[in-house]
Chain A
C-alpha cells in the first residue's frame, strides 16, 4: 500500500510539476489566443493556424504509433479524406455550417480508418507500414485519376468559407475570417482534442493500447481481444486526423490529391517523431517545430528538404521515441536532479 502513495517529498514535487505543466499549457493557450489580436500579423496567424491543424493530426496519428505501437504510412488517407469531405459535401449538398461539415469529415475519415484498419490490423511492423502505404496510395491514385468524378483530379477543388450556426461569417474578408474567427475555431478544437485525448489515453482504454504495444502475447493472454483494440485505435486515430484535415482544408482553401500522397503520410510521421512519439504532447511540439523549421529553411535556402531529411535522420539515431519534447523533459529532470544533489 505504502508504495502507491509516494513519500511527502515526492508528492510535493509531483504536484508542483503538475501545476507547472498545467500553468505552462494554459499560458501557451493564452499567448496563442492573444497573438493575432495583439500583433495583427496575418502571415503569422496563418502559420499558427496551419501548425495547429497539423498538431491535431499528429496527436491523432500518435494514437496508433506512440500508444499502440504500429507504424502507419497511410495516414494521409485520413487527412485527405477529412479535407475532401468538407469540400465535396459543401458543393454537393449546399451544407455550409462549419460544425456539421467538420463532424461529417470526422465520420468519413473514421469510416476510411475502419476499412484500412480492418484490412491491416492483423499484420505487423513493416508489413503494417507497407500495407497502410499501399491502401492509402490506392486512394491517392483514385483521387488523381478522378475515379467517380468527385475530386477533379490534379486540378483540385477550391474551398469556400463555411458559416457558423447560421451566422454568415463567410461574408467577412479572407483575412478577417482567418484572424478574427476561424483561428479561434481551430484553437478551440486543438484545446478540446488535447483535453479529450489526455483523458482517453490515461483511461483503461489507453492502458489497453499500451498493453498491446508493449506485449501483444501478454495482452491476449490477459483476455484482451488484441485485433479489435487495434482496430479501435485506428478508427479513433483516423477520426482525429480527419478533424485536422477538415480544419486545414479551410485554411488552405484549395485541395489537391497531394494531401493523400504517401509523402504527406511521411510528413505526419515526421512531425510526431520530431516532437516525440513516446510523449503525449510531443506531436503538438513536433507539428509546430516541423512547420517552423520548414518556413525557416525555406526563407534561407531553396533546399529545405535536405534540412528536414537531416533532422529526421539525426532524430531517429539519437532521440528515437523521445523526440525533442522527450529530450527536453529528460534534460529538465537531470538538471533538477543535479540541483537536488547540490
Chain B
C-alpha cells in the first residue's frame, strides 16, 4: 500500500475523530459533572448542522469572505446555541436532574423526538446542503501535508478540536468554574453545602456542552448534508465514544474518539460492509469487560 493512501486514511480518521469529539464531549461532561445522561445531546449536533447550512446559505448575498464564513461556524453558531441552551436548561432540562438515570434516558428520548420535529418544522424534511458559493471547504481548497494533498478545511476542523480539548483541560485545571465542576463530579451535595450556587455552574456547564455539540454539527456540514438522520446516527456514535472512553472523562473522550475515528476510517477503506458493526462490537466488549471504560471513575481530567 502506498504511504500516501495510508496517510489519507489516517487523516480521514483524525477528521472523524474531531467530529466525534465535538458530538461526545458535552455528553460526557453533563453526565460526569451534572449526573444527567442526556440522550438528546446529539440532537444539538444535528441542530448545529442545520443552523450552519441555513446561515451560510443566507449570508451569501452579504459576503462570501472565508474568514466571515469560518467565524460563523466557529463563533456565531456556538454562541447562539449557548444562549438557547441556557434557556432550555432552566426549563426543559431542569426537572430531569433529580430523577433516576433510567427515566432520564426515557425523558430525553422524548426530547429527541421533539427537537427532531422542530428542526423539520423550520427547515423541512428533505436534507439540505451548503451552496457552493458559501462553502468554506471549497474556498480553502487543499494543502500539502507530509507530501500528500489534504483538505485545508478538514485540517482546520482538526485544529479547532485540538484547541477545544486543550482549552477545556485548562478550564478544568486553572479556572474556578473548572475546579468547582470537578468537585461537583466527585461530591455534588458537598459543593452545594459549601454555599456555591450550583445552579449557575450547572447552566454554564450544560450550555458549554451543548454549544460544543452545535459547533461540531456546524463544522460537519460543508462536507455533508444536514438531515434528520444526522441526529440519530450521532446519538449512537456519541454513546459509543463516551462508554468506551469511560463515562465522565475528558481524556476518555479524546482517546475513544481517536480510536473510533481511526476504526471507521480504516473500516471504510478495507471492510466497508461492517465498519459500523465494529464500533458497536467495540462498545459492547468494553461494557462487558471494562464497564468503567478506559478512563472512567477517575474524575473529569484525571
A79 CB–B CB distance under 8 Å: no
Please report which residues of chain A, range 294-334, place their CB below 8 angstroms from some CB of chain B when the two chains form the complex.
302-306, 308-313, 316-317, 320
Please report which residues of chain B, range 97-125, place their CB below 8 angstroms from some CB of chain A when the two chains form the complex.
99, 101-103, 105-107, 109-118, 120-121, 125
Inter-subunit contact A306/B287 (CB<8 Å): no
Chain B facing A: main interface SS: helix
Inter-subunit contact B107/A130 (CB<8 Å): no
In the complex, how many angstroms separate the beta carbon of A28 from the nearest chain B beta carbon? 28
Q: List chain B residues, Cβ under 8 A from A142.
A: 274, 277
Provide the B165-189 mask, 1 if CB < 8 A to any CB of A, else 0. Answer: 0000000000000000000000000
Q: List chain B residues, Cβ under 8 A from A263.
A: 232
In the complex, how many angstroms separate the beta carbon of A75 from the nearest chain B beta carbon? 14
A133 CB–B CB distance under 8 Å: yes
Q: List chain B residues, Cβ under 8 A from A126.
A: 37, 101-102, 105
Inter-subunit contact A138/B281 (CB<8 Å): yes
Chain A facing B: main interface SS: helix
A135 CB–B CB distance under 8 Å: yes
With most chain A CB atoms within 10 A of its CB, the pick from B106, B111, B121, B243 is B106
B283 CB–A CB distance under 8 Å: yes
Q: Which of under 10, 10 to 19, 20 to 34, or 35 or more describes the interface residues of A?
A: 35 or more
Q: List chain A residues, Cβ under 8 A from B232.
A: 263
A134 CB–B CB distance under 8 Å: yes
Nearest B-chain residue to A131, judged by Cβ: B287
Given A123-B291, A130-B243, A309-B284 contact (CB < 8 Å): no
A266 CB–B CB distance under 8 Å: yes
Inter-subunit contact A269/B236 (CB<8 Å): no
Complex CA–CA separation, A137 to B99 (angstroms): 27
Inter-subunit contact B277/A309 (CB<8 Å): no
Inter-subunit contact B287/A134 (CB<8 Å): yes
Q: List chain A residues, Cβ under 8 A from B110.
A: 308-313, 316
Q: A131-B288, A134-B240, A145-B274 are in contact. List 14 more A-B contacts (CB 8 A).
A: A71-B102, A125-B101, A127-B291, A137-B236, A138-B284, A145-B273, A263-B232, A269-B106, A305-B114, A305-B120, A308-B110, A309-B114, A312-B107, A320-B103
Q: List 24 A-B contacts (CB under 8 A).
A: A71-B102, A73-B105, A120-B287, A123-B291, A126-B101, A130-B287, A131-B288, A134-B243, A135-B284, A137-B236, A138-B284, A147-B273, A262-B236, A270-B109, A304-B117, A306-B118, A306-B121, A310-B110, A312-B106, A312-B107, A312-B109, A313-B107, A316-B103, A320-B103
